[in-house]
Structure 1
């Protein structure tokens, strides 16, 4: 009997030794399957980055052409059309059950919506009254303002490397502000208001997502309809009633109307790729991508909307913009690596 037990033990042992060979082959199949997942994720992220850059640059350029070349200077109406198109898209998605919704309380919803509307409206006014270069510098200035607000009111600290990159950014902004010949008092005021609204709205967006546990898509779904309504309410007394004849007359032009529709469609694409990119990566990565868009927009601005300035002034302008952009890119890099 003991001999038979030994035989059984040997047979079981042999089966046990053979089993890992089969499991190892399965592991290889699993590894080959899982190894393709990061590759697909990277390709998807690259697609979101390229789509975000392309759509954002296209929107800025189309808006500039609509306002300067076709005389459609009704920036609040244009912003209301952008919000309305996006709100309609989200409404269709919710009705079709294509997305999961989660409600944001009324007070933060309204305050954040007001800040977002102010940000976009004043940015559009800045774009209309200033050059593309100063408009982009206005957007870059939002970062140090946000850092200041977070330091003073939220008790956050920033490393010396971050502070040095911000000094580089401010130096570049100072150079461009002095040499930018398209800057005027009204444009400066619009720029300051745009900076304040943008900084406050972005801080509020981050807080709302954390406090109320919302995804970026859920947050945008809550904000887009109120933003459309708020913009329409502002547009009625400011632009629609005083300038209804001019708006209708301008939109009678088929080329102008086509560009406005194109601008609205691109704005939907911008919202989609923004949400997708933030969801696939992070807000910091999105800001770094935003600085890449800044470089492209500045280059296109110089090419499509050249400013007649002396060569030394133009060189200083380009140097200041380059310095500012490098400072912001380094800021995003150090923030990503927690330095």
Structure 2
């Protein structure tokens, strides 16, 4: 849990420094570096026999991997671009709206069931985010729209992962995921890089390409994916949710201490309200998972109650 929190915070803080302070304000180029680095490392690990990759058919790749890769590229691009306009602390507050957007998208795709209780819970989260946004001193509309777009694409991506991969019974570890998704994500990012950012970089007299810093950022991003696998494998979803809360508060503190980001009392009140809503939502989801698991565990116990004659009819049917 400590490793995951550290790496997650490191990726965000390093990306913020690279894009806003190091003379490299090019989020697509930075994201391309990450995806290229992850693609190469994943390829070496798979082909070297260190990790076994899941075999993907051409149909699955076209119908599942490509859409997910496109959305992942959009999430990374828009999310990194937001660092050019907004503070890390405010971005973390906006990210608290993720469960609300995932719920709305899930209802639209019929992966989530609409209930009044959850809807009211999401209203509380949305109200908290609105209050936090109202209290932001350096509110930049473009930055907020970029971050909202990143949250939206990530929510659709998570929903598609559930629909396209889980329903097909495809389970991939982080290395296998990067092995399949990172290359197509790199291609989707490389096109806008060539036509949008590269001409600007060529004509930018203040451009500072700090290769060690870019490699450090890419290495942190790859290590973060590995730590997610470690965290989920060694703990539980509840532990990861708790760790996520600790990480968010830590990033807000680091943003204030290291980058001098102003945080008002109105923001803290709004974020606190959204935080309580998110925690209740996570608690309800975990309780729902426990109830489903308990029901599944009791189901086989009812099997002996079925008479042999009825069982034979069922088998024949």
TM range (shorter): 0.7 to 0.9
Length, aligned pairs only: 283
Alignment partner of 2:96 out of 119, 125, 140? 140
Question: Any idea what SS the aligned residue of 2:83 has?
Answer: helix
Q: Give the TM-score taking structure 1 as reference length.
A: 0.76
Among 107, 125, 142, the alignment partner of 2:81 is 125
Name the CA distance, whole Å, in 1 between partners of 2:115 and 2:230. 30
**Structure label with greater radius of gyration:** 1
The Cα of 1:285 is off from its aligned counterpart by 4.8
Provide the rounded CA distance (Å) in 1 between the counterparts of 2:177 and 2:213: 29
Question: 2: distance between equivalents of 1:78 and 1:68?
Answer: 12
Map 1:192-203 to 2 at 5 A.
192-203=148-159
| CA apart distance, 1:330 | 2.2
- Corresponding residue number in structure 2 for 1:74: 26
Partner of 1:15: none
TM-score normalised over the length of structure 2 = 0.81
CA-atom RMSD in angstroms: 2.3
Distance 1:116 1:225, change over 3 A: same
1:132-180: CA deviation from partner (whole Å, max 9, x where unpaired): 2331133222211110121233063255554444233222101111111
Q: Is the 8 A contact 2:73 2:189 kept in 1?
A: yes
Corresponding residue number in structure 2 for 1:95? 47
Unaligned runs of 5+ in 2: 292-317
1:221 equivalent to 2:179? Answer yes
Q: CA separation of 1:136/1:232 partners in 2, compared to 1, >3 Å: closer, same or farther?
A: same
**Whole-angstrom distance in 2 between the partners of 1:156 and 1:325:** 21
CA deviation vs aligned residue, 1:196-250 (integer Å, no higher than 9, x gap): 2111111112223312322232334311111122212221111112323539941
Q: Report the alpha carbon displacement of residue 66 of structure 1 after superposing the two structures with TM.
A: 1.5
1:268 is matched with 222
Residues 168-247 of structure 1: pairs in structure 2 closer than 5 A: 168-217=124-173, 218-246=176-204
CA contact (8 A) 1:51 1:273 kept: yes
Give the gaps of 5 or more residues in structure 1. 1-48
